[in-house]
Structure 1
Amino acid sequence: MADVTKVDLPGVTKVGTAVDDAAKVLDTAYTDYTPKLAGASALTGWATGPQLTSGAQTWTTYLADLRGDVRGYGEDLVQSAKDYQATDEAAAAAVQQPMYGPWVPR
């Protein structure tokens, strides 16, 4: 007998939604704190100024990429659940269709 694979569609959707919620938290952090990091450039003349400016730019880029990745993962999980459900329903409908042809007795 073949192994049966089951997917917990509500569970996958719930996890995808939770990941999307985490992305929203990252969006808020990015929006709230990125302008504060830009203040590092005001430290011209200080020996640490260029390093702080570089670190702030690196962190801003990293956080922007991270929030995009996390948002994408959440969206992909939810879409995967929808796609799986649609494929499962289409397969079930195809199995229930009557077969016609010379090999099927009438």
Structure 2
Amino acid sequence: MVYVISKDGKPLMPTKRHGKVRRLLKQGLAKVVRREPFTIQLLYDTTTYVQPVTVGIDIGSKTVGVSAITDKKEVFSAKVVLRTDIKRLIVRKKRIQTVKKVSQDEVQKSKVFE
């Protein structure tokens, strides 16, 4: 997927026509703006017609799905894997802190009795 920006800096519809993008870059009719995500800016005047895009989000317990679609095709989709280990890490941290506190208290008590 190649994202496209007009000469004026306005976003246009992305394209999957990599051959055309390659030719535009080679002929000097476009320049690379960003490499990640790959974005080009056209150096000639074009129409700024864009299709309406609908964004959908599917929230799950372990993953979140995101999708952007037009009337005809899917423009963007992604799946984000959520962290499920946070609770376990917090419990582990609490145990370690408890052990440290207990051992510190034992050192304090031994100093008092000396």
When normalised by structure 2's length, the TM-score is 0.33
Structure with greater helix share of residues: 1
The structure number with the bigger radius of gyration is: 2
RCO higher in structure (CA 8 A, sep ≥6): 1
The structure with the largest strand share of the pair is 2
TM-score of the superposed pair, with normalisation by structure 1: 0.35
